[in-house]
Structure 1
Amino acid sequence: MRWLFKLIDRHAEHGVRQMAHRHGRRSLLARLGVALVGGAVLPMLPFDRSGQSSGAAHAAEPSPRKAAKPDPREDPLQCEYWRYCAFDGYLCTCCGGSLTQCPPGTEASKVSWIGTCLNPQDGRQYLVSYNDCCGKGSCGECLCNNNERERPGYRLGVHNDINWCMANTSPMFHCTTAIIAGVA
C-alpha cells in the first residue's frame, strides 16, 4: 500500500513542477484575484423572484376585484411624480434621503436649478427647486431625466445637465432632491 502513496506523491509532484515551469506566480495570483472578485460579484447578479409571490396561500384567497394601479404622478419613488417635471439625476427618495433632505453623509449643493411643475391634485403650478446632494459617489438608484420646458445650455440657470456640486467643497454628485419653492 505504501508504494501506491509514493506513486501518487510522485505524480502530484511532477504535475505541480510542470505547472510551475509553465505558469508564473503572478498569473496564479491574477487568476486567484479574478476568482475572488467573481465570487464576490456573483451574489449581486439579478434573479427572478416573481414566482415567490404565487402559491397556495394566494390561491385560497378570493379576489373580488383587482386593485386599481396607483398613479405614478403621486408616487415620489417614480420618475413620473409631478415634482420631477424638470428633474435630471438619481432620486434621493431611493438613495436614503427624502424629497427635501439629502441622505446622511451628503450636503445640499450651494446652487440649484428650478422647474415649474403642475400638481395634478390641485391643478396649480409650483416652482420646484432641484438641489443636488454632494459629497459621495453616485447613488446609482432610480435615474430619472425629465426635460419639460428645458432651455438650451446657454441659459444655465434653467438647465439640468450641469453638475451643480461644483460650487461645494466636494464636487461628487450623489442624488437630487425636489423642494417646493413656491406657487408659480
Structure 2
Amino acid sequence: MSWITDFIDKQTERAVRKVAHRHGRRSALARIGTGLIGGALLPMLPFDRSGQFGSAHAAGGGGAKAGGAATEDATKCEYWRYCAIDGFLCTCCGGSLTSCPAGTEPSKVSWVGTCLNPKDGRQYLISYNDCCGINSCGNCLCNNNERERPGYRLGVHNDINWCMANNNSMFHCTTSIIVGVA
C-alpha cells in the first residue's frame, strides 16, 4: 500500500511543479497589471447611447418625479427636461437651461436622457452638461434618476463628475439642452 501513496505523492509533486514552472509570480503580476491598466482605460471608450431612445417618463407624468405633476418652471426639479438630471440647476445659479453661468465652461462630455414634453406629447433627447470651473452653486439640487443605468453604461449614468475631462474639474451646476426628438 505504501508504494501507491508514494506514487500518488510523486505524481502530484510533479504536476504541481509543472504548474508552478509555467505560472509563476511574474506571470500572475503581469495578468493583474494588465487587468488594472485595462480597467483604467475602459472609461475612455466611446459611449453606447443607442439603446436609450425609448419612452422615458415617470409614473407621475413627463419629467416629473413619480407622484408629482410636471411644471413649466425651469427652476423646479419637476420641470419636464429634468427627468434624468443630477446636480444643481443652472437656472438657479446664474445660467439658463442651455448656457453655463459666467466663469464656468461646459463639460467636454455629458450624459443623456429621453424626456417626455407634456405639452406636445413627444419624447426629446436631452443632453445634460455640467458647468465646470468654480465651486458648486448649492442652489436647486435635483436628483432625478429616471432610466439611469449602472456605472458600466457611462453615457446614461448621472452620478459621475463629468467635469473630470476639463482642465478645471470643479463642478458648479448642470444645463439641460434639447439635442433632438427621440
Give the TM-score normalised by the residue count of structure 1: 0.61
Query: Which is richer in helix?
Result: 1
1:140 counterpart residue number: 138
Is the contact between residue 117 and residue 125 of structure 1 (CA under 8 Å) also seen in structure 2? Answer: yes
Residue identity in the other structure for 2:135 = G
Task: Tell me the CA shift for residue 154 of structure 1.
Answer: 1.0
2:27 counterpart residue number: none
Task: Tell me the CA shift for residue 74 of structure 1.
Answer: 1.2
Aligned length: 114
Q: What are the Cα deviations for residues 63-107 of structure 1, in whole angstroms up to 9, with x where unaligned?
A: xxxxxxxx6521101000000000000000000000000000000
Query: Which residues in structure 2 correspond to 1:11-90 (within 5 Å)?
Result: 72-90=70-88
Question: SS where residue 71 of structure 2 aligns?
Answer: helix
1:131 counterpart residue number: 129
Residue identity in the other structure for 2:168 = S
Q: Which residue, 109, 112, 123 being the options, matches 2:110?
A: 112
* CA distance, structure 1, for counterparts of residue 145 and residue 135 of structure 2: 24
Q: Which residue, 159, 163, 166 being the options, matches 2:164?
A: 166
Moved over 2 A (4+): none
CA RMSD of aligned residues (A): 0.8
1:175 counterpart residue number: 173
* CA distance, structure 2, for counterparts of residue 148 and residue 161 of structure 1: 13
Percent identity among equivalent residues? 81
Unaligned runs of 5+ in 2: 1-68
* CA distance, structure 2, for counterparts of residue 86 and residue 140 of structure 1: 19
Is the contact between residue 87 and residue 174 of structure 2 (CA under 8 Å) also seen in structure 1? Answer: yes
* CA distance, structure 2, for counterparts of residue 106 and residue 175 of structure 1: 9
Residue identity in the other structure for 1:175 = C
Asked which structure has the greater CA Rg, the reply is 1
* CA distance, structure 2, for counterparts of residue 162 and residue 82 of structure 1: 22
Q: What are the Cα deviations for residues 25-81 of structure 1, in whole angstroms up to 9, with x where unaligned?
A: xxxxxxxxxxxxxxxxxxxxxxxxxxxxxxxxxxxxxxxxxxxxxx65211010000
Is the contact between residue 70 and residue 118 of structure 2 (CA under 8 Å) also seen in structure 1? Answer: no
Unaligned runs of 5+ in 1: 1-70
2:120 counterpart residue number: 122
Residue identity in the other structure for 2:169 = P
Residue identity in the other structure for 1:112 = S
* CA distance, structure 2, for counterparts of residue 72 and residue 84 of structure 1: 10
